[in-house]
């Protein structure tokens, strides 16, 4: 599913190699954020200097997050407030933003009903505690904010889901309930 060969970024990481098959989970550890730097490079947030990435055996060039999404990748970043959430937007908007092109479609009009149905399904599925989909996400607990981000990527149905410290910044009770 995902093969990485000799991925390097000068002064940050060198010759990263791994392969993950469909259904497998790979844990990555690293010094001082280097793990995050590798994941961000895979997702096109920071450019690697060299190396090769293959998805389903096909070499791909991922130069931006939008390209990564097009190729079927998703990244839940380590810092949800810095590089994940749109703090002034609602739960609905945060959850559906990646699929917005699909919700607009060929008509040029947003399919609000479909978007709301998809959002409600994820709220139920992940047990997200929010009074309404229109709630501003900054008003939710850290654990529920994280669930909204996970729901965002689950809605996108990625081939490859990268979770970088998915329980960082959520309380101990929420961590105990965190399962994938």
Mean per-residue pLDDT over the chain, rounded: 89
On whether the CB atoms of residues 56 and 75 are closer than 8 A, the answer is no
Task: Give per-residue pLDDT as tens, 30-63.
Answer: 666 578 888 899 999 989 999 999 999 999 999 9
Distance CA 79, CA 90 (A): 18
Cα 58 to chain centroid, rounded: 22
Distance CA 176, CA 6 (A): 36
Task: Give per-residue pLDDT as tens, 131-153.
Answer: 999 999 999 998 899 899 999 99
- Please tell me the pTM assigned to this model: 0.83
Average pLDDT over residues 159-178: 73
Residue 78 has pLDDT above 70, yes or no: yes
């Amino acid at each position: 599913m995902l093969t990485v060969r000799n991925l390097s970024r000068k002064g940050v990481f060198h010759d990263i190699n791994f392969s993950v098959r469909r259904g497998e989970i790979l844990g990555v550890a690293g010094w001082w954020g280097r793990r995050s730097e590798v994941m961000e490079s895979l997702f096109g947030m920071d450019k690697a200097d060299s190396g090769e990435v293959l998805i389903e055996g096909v070499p791909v060039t991922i130069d931006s997050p939008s390209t990564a999404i097009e190729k079927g990748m998703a990244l839940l970043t380590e810092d949800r407030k810095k590089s994940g959430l749109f703090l002034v937007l609602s739960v609905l908007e945060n959850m559906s933003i990646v699929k917005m092109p699909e919700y607009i479609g060929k008509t040029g009009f947003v399919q609000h009903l479909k978007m709301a149905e998809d959002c409600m399904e994820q709220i139920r599925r992940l047990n997200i505690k929010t009074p309404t989909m229109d709630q501003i996400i900054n008003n939710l607990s850290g654990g529920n904010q994280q669930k909204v981000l996970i729901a965002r990527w689950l809605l996108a149905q990625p081939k490859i889901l990268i979770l970088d410290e998915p329980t960082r910044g959520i309380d101990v009770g929420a961590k105990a309930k965190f399962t994938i």
